[in-house]
Structure 1
Amino acid sequence: MNATTPQGAQTNSQRIAACLDLLREALPIQRRVVHAGDALYQSGERFTNLHVLNSGMVKIVNLSPDGREQVVGLHFRGDWLGFDGIATGSYGCDAIAMDTGEVWTFRYDALLEACIARPALLSVLHEAMSREIGRDRDSMMSLCTLPADARVADFLRNWAEALSDRGLRTDQITLRMTRAEIGNYLGMTLETVSRALSRLARTDVIRFAEKGRREIQIPQVEALSEFIQRCVTPAAASSAAVIH
């Protein structure tokens, strides 16, 4: 682990490792290596299993009413997948690998049985569900309240923080998504995403490692938070002026 990694990131990384260790000890697990484009499961498929990422990245894709594919979630090492299938008995979305990684799969009924013998495992399950709810809430808040440039900055900040939580470097990240996919996820056009990234680069909040490539340098993650605050502060000030 990088010596400059924040203490909080070490704690999160250790928590993820402890969760994976507990799952491996308590359950029969099927390990599967996946590559970019592989489907972990698909919408409509009968739900029997939950999945946890041991490495790699996965996007969750939903089909919109007009037939378009909509990216609705991104997942990293330690994240659980498939919770949406519990209520209906079938998965509601596709889970697609974004790069080479390893996914752990285990039966949901076996997990519930193991939770009886291991209360700590039940706590891990509840924590994973709670984090999923929190991520969905934060994503909705971003989409509903942030202007375009701030939305892209928030997307990059969340990506960098997810890497930091896993003990990985955040000063340079490789986006496993095209500009069009980022726009799809953020509810923006490709052109709007490109313009937002260019503005972030002009203010030196981010830097492009190579022109036209997906490698982005982030000198300071805190600068992304400051950029977001600058984007929303004028709006807040205007609202206050109207009220008064």
Structure 2
Amino acid sequence: MLNPAVSNALPPVTAAATAARATERAAEHQRVGQEIAEVLRLVQEQLTPQRRIVRAGETVYQAGDAFGNLYVLNSGLFKQINLSADGREQVVALKFRGDWMGFDGIAPGHYACDAVAMDTGEVWVLRYDAVLAACATRPALLRVLHEAMSREIGRDRDSLMSVCSLPADARVADFLRYWADSLAKRGLRTDQITLRMTRAEIGNYLGMTLETVSRSLSRLARQQLIRFTEKGRRDVQIPDVSALVAYVQGSLAPAPAALQ
């Protein structure tokens, strides 16, 4: 049950409305999961990718490497890292099963970031020229490629909107919601997740300091939106993802009234 202070901050909803939204989310997750499986099947059949096993900490490609391949993730979790002007590492994207990597290298002819595995996973390596040749005669594959590019643009937009419009606690809550949703769409459990990022990396990704991330997680735990397991503070229990969604929505500031 939510802390009363949190409940007061959220818009009033009925139990029926909450249940309906949960059902809609479950149906959406199932639909997306089926789409991911279908895309992987199509890529495997049409392109015969080279399979590569990557373990935690290993790099798929590095910034500055000559562009030649696109990558599709068949399993595992990956992060993409840029170097800021002062030499600090900046986490710019998270990638899950079914996601593509390498689009940033198409225009400049070299990759703009590092792609690093956060756990053991399998990457499918696709020669870019082979992808183009296949897309020329297979409209379904061309559609898959365009949809992957569109999703990446949408995620970049959503990340920017989160940084610009949400307060710190809601930003962390939305990050956890995104992680849980990404797992749910791939048929994985969401009631307990292992954050394969340090507090510093999470803050780096969200535009926050390590200390702010830690305080936000503690406040979310006190409000019973999340719990930490006995194993360690990287293992996070999420009793109800819908409660995180409602918390984020309740944190959005109303749009300013138009000037008269």
2:113 matches 1:96: no
Deviation string, structure 1 residues 145-188 (Cα, Å, up to 9, x no partner): 11111100010011111111111111111111011110111111
The equivalent position to 2:64 in structure 1, one of 44, 47, 50, is 44
Deviation string, structure 1 residues 59-82 (Cα, Å, up to 9, x no partner): 000000000000000000000000
2:86 matches 1:86: no
Distance 1:215 1:153, change over 3 A: same
Code of the aligned partner of 1:15:
E
Q: For the residues of structure 1 that align with 2:36 and 2:128, how far apart are their CA atoms?
A: 20
Query: Percent identity between the aligned chains?
Result: 68
Code of the aligned partner of 2:145:
L
Runs of 4+ in 1 over 4 A off after TM superposition: none
Q: Which residue does the alignment assign to 2:40?
A: 20
Q: For the residues of structure 2 that align with 1:81 and 1:59, how far apart are their CA atoms?
A: 10
Code of the aligned partner of 2:32:
N
Q: For the residues of structure 2 that align with 1:35 and 1:65, how far apart are their CA atoms?
A: 29
Q: For the residues of structure 2 that align with 1:231 and 1:128, how far apart are their CA atoms?
A: 30
Instruction: Using the TM superposition, give the Cα deviation of residue 194 of structure 1 relative to its aligned residue in structure 2, in angstroms.
Output: 0.5
Equivalences for 1:233-244 in 2 at 5 Å? Answer: 235-236=253-254, 239=256
SS of 2:52's partner is strand
Q: For the residues of structure 1 that align with 2:40 and 2:148, how far apart are their CA atoms?
A: 12
Code of the aligned partner of 2:122:
E
Equivalences for 1:56-71 in 2 at 5 Å? Answer: 56-71=76-91
Q: For the residues of structure 2 that align with 1:172 and 1:114, how far apart are their CA atoms?
A: 40
Greater Cα offset, 5-14 or 168-177: 5-14
Q: For the residues of structure 1 that align with 2:188 and 2:96, how far apart are their CA atoms?
A: 11
Q: Superposition RMSD on alpha carbons, in Å?
A: 1.7
Instruction: Using the TM superposition, give the Cα deviation of residue 230 of structure 1 relative to its aligned residue in structure 2, in angstroms.
Output: 2.9
Q: For the residues of structure 2 that align with 1:63 and 1:150, how far apart are their CA atoms?
A: 26
Deviation string, structure 1 residues 119-142 (Cα, Å, up to 9, x no partner): 100000000000000000000000
SS of 1:214's partner is strand
Instruction: Using the TM superposition, give the Cα deviation of residue 118 of structure 1 relative to its aligned residue in structure 2, in angstroms.
Output: 1.1
2:86 matches 1:72: no
SS of 2:106's partner is helix
Code of the aligned partner of 2:182:
A
Q: For the residues of structure 2 that align with 1:84 and 1:184, how far apart are their CA atoms?
A: 20
Q: Which residue does the alignment assign to 2:126?
A: 106
Give the unaligned 5+ runs of structure 1: none
Instruction: Using the TM superposition, give the Cα deviation of residue 116 of structure 1 relative to its aligned residue in structure 2, in angstroms.
Output: 1.7
Q: Which residue does the alignment assign to 1:175?
A: 195
Q: For the residues of structure 1 that align with 2:32 and 2:251, how far apart are their CA atoms?
A: 29
SS of 1:87's partner is coil
Code of the aligned partner of 2:132:
L
Number of residue-to-residue matches in the alignment: 237
2:209 matches 1:209: no
Code of the aligned partner of 2:190:
T
